[in-house]
Amino acid sequence: MTSRKKTKSRAVIVTTAHRGVFFGYTDKTDGDVIRLHRSRLCVYWNSDVKGFMGLAENGPTSKCRIGPPAEIELRNITAVLEVTPDAVKAWESAPWS
């Protein structure tokens, strides 16, 4: 009998060569394509976030613009960042001002 190991999706931010900054959930971050579930695009982040790495550490603030969730495949990936639990809560609240 073959047993399958269950993989757990983790929260990540993925940046692309086209300057996209996406939050979402995935279980695979290697390779040329990353599929994100419940992905959200950061359309705009305010300076109080302190850059895209601040989006991974603290999440977006009320002055940011975060799009609605979607299933997406990303290509031309430049970075994958782990997202803290506090940042996940902020992303899930999807601020848009």
Domains and CATH numbers, the chain: 10-93 (2.30.30.100)
Place of tokens 């950061």: 42
Per-residue pLDDT of the chain (97 residues; tens, 9 = 90+): 444 455 689 999 999 999 999 999 999 999 899 999 999 999 999 999 999 999 999 999 999 999 999 999 999 999 999 999 999 999 999 777 6
For position 1, what pLDDT does the model report? 46
Burial classification of residue 92, based on how many CB atoms lie within 10 Å of its CB (0-12 exposed, 13-18 middle, 19 or more buried): middle
pTM: 0.88
Q: How far is CA 22 from CA 3, 47, 87, in A?
A: 33, 18, 13
